[in-house]
A and B are shown apart, each in its own frame.
Chain A
Amino acid sequence: MYWRRTLIALATITHKEIQRFLRIWVQTLLPPAITMALYFIIFGNLIGPRIGPMDGYSYIEFIAPGIIMMAVITNSYSNVVSSFFGAKFQRHIEEILVSPTPNAVILLGYVAGGVSRGLLTGFIVTLVSLFFTRLHIHNLPVTISVVFLTSVLFSLGGFINAVFARKFDDISIVPTFILTPLTYLGGVFYSISLLPEFWRWVSMTNPVLYMVNAFRYGILGASDINIWTAYGLILFFIALLGSFSLYLLHRGTGLRT
């Protein structure tokens, strides 16, 4: 009985979250499709042929996995951060806090919403990429698992940001000043083998590099890093951010007086 009720609560939050981003699809699903199409046109079609092949692939083939992953990361993060902060701001988060829904279910529900938007956006961008290049899936289980786990990780990041945010400015600081630089410098547009030794070493401290490369390995079969290191890192950060999110919910940080 308890588990059935808990599952209904989880399904409700997840459904509500999916309903939310689908209702405002012009703001949530359309912009990444347009932005990523522009990346493909400019970097892939116009500049790409002048750059030449990278790691044995045409430039547009090389950047396609990174661009898809970039869409997944930013959309997973922004879905949770904006939805949860919006619920705090309008105070309708109290509907859930007053209810018996366990904290883990609240977290899972919001993360499920973020993952749903992240994966749907990734799928849309993949469809867009097919207008510009052909994608050969080298390893389907790796491709799916890496994109899923990365989406979970950044949804958790968005949740923590939303818990601490007090005003709307606070939900754009992390994406603008941390997430975007990490993603652009995470090997989306280049292979780190092109970098001098020092900058290659600096790049190796960027966790996004491991996710982008693991995903690129799943699609192209080429990667700058060890795939198992990438899995280990992603799972470690999921465990870390997940535990911290639950701790924040338990303490009621930013939610309870």
Chain B
Amino acid sequence: MHALKLENLNKTYASGVVALRDVNLVVEEGDFFGLLGPNGAGKSTAIGIISSLVTKTSGQVAVFGYDLDTHRWEAKSALGLVPQEFNFNNFETVEQIVLHQAGYYGIPPRVARRRCERYLRELGLWEKRRAASRTLSGGMKRRLMIARALVHEPRLLILDEPTAGVDIELRRSMWEFLRHINRSDGVTIILTTHYLEEAENLCRNIAIIDDGEIVENTDTQSLLTRLGTHDFILDVQQDLDRLPEGLEFSLRPLGPRQLEVEVHKDQTLTRLFAQLAEAGIHVSSMKNKSNRLEELFLRLLRDRGPEDRRLA
């Protein structure tokens, strides 16, 4: 079943700016889907339309088969939103924010209190339930927005850059939590993020939006295999006076004990290490030069527009 279906979605702002051009997109139930794109590409507009905060110019949005225009209650009840910016009442307590949200979805108070406790505990906010939301740290506020979005137990959760400005430890724990609700609770997740490492780690399918159009829509693995080459940084055990000759791989020195190597998709790392060992070079550690998805993302956008395109 389609968790989300966008058909010929268009949005032109009053200023004349065209934010979305005939966007067609399908997200299947149970998917962990990444919606990526540079700033101003149309991601937030698309999410705004899906969540009814932006009025569409034309097109259709269906959530689990329910049209957003004709079956508002059903479509909106199935949807949870974690927006990019904090948008809760600073004067309300953590508990009040979550309980009020449950009320807007018609959840009876007793059920709402039970769910509120569950999600606040799972997200480590239970001890802070009586604290005014304005007193929370940035990371706690992000978690509060997730708890608030989950209290009506939506089947589709949309997260608009949920880990922006969050420290790495918290980011990893949020990844775990999102994986958990996707796998165990079956919640379909749509994620927009500027951290492409995050998308590569979490998302099974990815769409890339640029200038209001979907330019790629496929599974993450297929997308990554499109990279013809993969660059690695190698730390070696001894100083390199000169680079070995006659290797199948293209090497570039970065320092006395560091090398950059380009591996084509038809070459193997086993072969690389064997050739380096033959040349008397022993590798002590290795890392990706850049995130693979990031590299692909940049190439895709570079191919579509000017090289000096400003990316997030």
Binding site for B on A (CB under 8 A): 2, 4-9, 11-13, 15-16, 19-20, 23, 87, 90-92, 94-102, 252, 256-257
Contacts and interface: CB of A to CB of B under 8 A. Distances in A.
Contact of B88 (A13, A20, A95): A95
5 contacts: A7-B106, A91-B87, A95-B101, A98-B53, A100-B73
Given A2-B73, A19-B96, 15 more contacts: A5-B73, A9-B103, A90-B89, A91-B85, A95-B101, A95-B104, A97-B52, A97-B53, A98-B52, A99-B105, A100-B73, A100-B74, A256-B54, A256-B55, A257-B55
B100 interface: yes
Interface in B47-81: 48, 51-55, 72-77, 79, 81
Interface of B: 13, 48, 51-55, 72-77, 79, 81, 83, 85, 87-91, 96-97, 100-101, 103-109, 148, 152
Contacts of B73: 2, 5, 100
Contacts of B51: 98
Contacts of A4: 106
A9 B104 contact: yes
A94 B151 CA distance: 16
B135 to A, nearest CB: 15
Nearest to A20: B91
Contacts of B107: 8
Contacts of B89: 87, 90, 92
B76 A100 contact: yes
Contacts of B48: 257
Nearest to A94: B87
Nearest to B81: A98
B87 A99 contact: no
Contacts of A99: 76, 101, 104-105, 152
Contacts of B101: 95, 99
Contacts of A9: 103-106
B52 A257 contact: no
A95 B100 contact: yes
A86 B97 CA distance: 15
Nearest to B78: A100
B160 to A, nearest CB: 12
A257 B97 CA distance: 24
Contacts of B90: 90
Contacts of A12: 100, 103-104
Contacts of B87: 90-92, 94-95
B134 to A, nearest CB: 10
Nearest to A19: B96
A95 B51 CA distance: 10
Contacts of B85: 91
Contacts of A256: 52-55
A60 B39 CA distance: 65
A16 B13 contact: no
A9 to B, nearest CB: 5
B103 A100 contact: no
Contacts of A19: 96
Contact of B100 (A6, A16, A98): A16
A6 B108 CA distance: 11
For the complex of A and B, the 3 pairs showing the least CB-CB separation, nearest first, are: A5-B106, A12-B103, A99-B104
